[in-house]
Amino acid sequence: MTEKDIQKYIWDHKNDWKSLLVNARFPTNEKSDNPTHLTPAEAMFNLVVEKTRILYNSLEYLEFFGCEVPLRKKGKSTIRADFLGIMGGGNGIAIIELKKGKKTERQSFTELLAYSGHLRTVFAPMGKMDIVYVIIAPMKERIVREAIVNCLLYENMRTIALVPEFENDDVSTLKLNPWIPSFKEIEQLTNSCFSERNFDVFKITWEALEGEWSPEKGVKNPDEHMIDRMNEVSAIAAQVMEAKGINGFVFSTQSFSETRELLPLANGLVLCGLNPYKATKNRFLKTERNLSVKEADNIDIVEVNLLDIIPELEKSAKNENIETNFLGFLSLAWDNEMTGIGFDIVQTLTKSLDQESIITDYGGFNWDDYQSKFLEDIYCHNFKMRLTGLLRKLFFEYAKLDYDYIREYGHEEHFQYADGDIPNFLVDISNSQFFVRNFIRRLFNPYYEFEDDFDLS
């Protein structure tokens, strides 16, 4: 039985495609009985399962409109889509790639992205919500399995894999079963990620501009217009961070008027992102060298080499990676990109008709250290806190579970809200400095009850 045989069989049964889909049994949510103890890996596993469930159910209404479709560009090589379809009753063109064997399935994502690139040109402007990626393959290759997980969690692409099953290699017995990653596969991607020292902080400050951005001398607090303006800066920063796939948070800050002589650059934009290279460093040290999170935090990134992370490099580029620590360079370049985002936003949004430029400055920290800086983070007005990327998704995943649990069982057994200090509506915690900071801490140590317990040593 060849791929062509399977392709023909599916196309011949396009009108009763639903009969090829099994009545799938999806895993139950991890520890959903009490969200207090939910770990980030469990929350992310639940997200992946729910996304797969929704997409699989919608595939029942898939309507095929193409088979072996050449997507030509004049003067360019031809690429072919195994199937094209429309999500009946829902939005999106489905690109279906069929691979029968383990070796050929490695090419599936390359071909899917090529097809989607062409469709995005034909139907410009298309967004991520407008394409559904469907892979029909054995799902034996690690690289393909990881690609599916990354698409669901980080890239926010509508992606699903279907595993073909046969009896006695008979194409007429074909059934398609949704592939769901194991909890262990999700856990391996998130292990040790959410240490507060893996979150890099970039604070861009600019002059007070009294009367416009900050209070006049002798006035203690900014007025509502100033607060709205500072919140608008962070809102736009959050949009940029989201578009760039940065997993973190952002807020604006303003020094108290009493400190104006010490801090003439009173206004600040604080961008904080989960540095993927530091997270990878921690994950390696924990899984391969059995270090605790605290021990991994205290090891500088330059003490780990790309050869440790991608051992396959040793065959062709061992000396190059011994001479130069590229992991450290990647981390530094990531930090520089974040700083550039902050400067660009501040310089753009402070542009005015009566002043050519303003004075700005910059400081870098990690989130753990930043919170201990009295003048930077305590003796100041901190405005709305906005989450981006995976942190935004996890925040609402936790918050929805929290509200459901407290509504049914009360707050006494929920450690984070045991004192009952939770607003009636979820919207009131979504940008709160207090609640969002506690959420970030919760990701680092889901089991904390009291401040003194927040030590993983």
Span 353-405, pLDDT tens digits: 988 889 999 999 999 999 999 889 998 999 999 999 999 999 999 999 999 99
> Residue 46: is its pLDDT beyond 50?
yes
> Residue 76: is its pLDDT beyond 70?
no
Residue 302 to residue 200: CA distance in whole angstroms: 16
Taking residues 280-299, report their average pLDDT. Answer: 89
CA-wise closest residue to 286 among 270, 298, 302? 298
Which element (helix H / strand E) includes 142? helix 142-150
> Residue 28: is its pLDDT beyond 90?
no
> Residue 453: is its pLDDT beyond 90?
no
Rounded to the nearest 5°, which phi and psi values hold at 3? -60, -35
pLDDT at residue 446 in the model: 63
**Residue ranges per structural domain of the chain:** 3-190, 196-275+330-453
More confident residue, 264 or 248: 248
What average pLDDT does the structure give for the chain? 88
The tokens describing 142, both together, are 């690690």
Which stretch of 78-82, 201-205, 259-263, 360-364 has the lowest confidence by average pLDDT?
78-82
pLDDT category, 451, cuts 50, 70, 90?
very low
CA-wise closest residue to 105 among 134, 135, 131? 135
pLDDT digits (tens, 9 = 90+) for 324-357: 999 999 999 999 999 999 999 999 999 999 888 8
Question: 294 and 287 in contact (C-beta within 8 Å)?
Answer: no
Taking residues 206-228, report their average pLDDT. Answer: 93
Please tell me the number of Cα atoms within 13 Å of 407 on its side-chain side.
10
How far, CA to CA in Å, does 238 sit from each of 232, 342, 396?
10, 10, 16
CA-wise closest residue to 27 among 159, 146, 211, 181? 181
Question: 106 and 141 in contact (C-beta within 8 Å)?
Answer: yes
Query: How many other CB atoms sit within 10 Å of the CB of residue 186?
Result: 25
Residue 65 to residue 63: CA distance in whole angstroms: 7
CATH class of 3-190: alpha beta
Which stretch of 116-130, 170-184, 250-264, 298-312 has the lowest confidence by average pLDDT?
116-130
Which element (helix H / strand E) includes 55? helix 40-59
Taking residues 117-124, report their average pLDDT. Answer: 84
How far, CA to CA in Å, does 188 sit from each of 141, 182, 348, 382, 394?
16, 10, 40, 35, 17
pLDDT digits (tens, 9 = 90+) for 279-289: 999 989 988 89
pLDDT category, 235, cuts 50, 70, 90?
very high
pLDDT at residue 152 in the model: 87
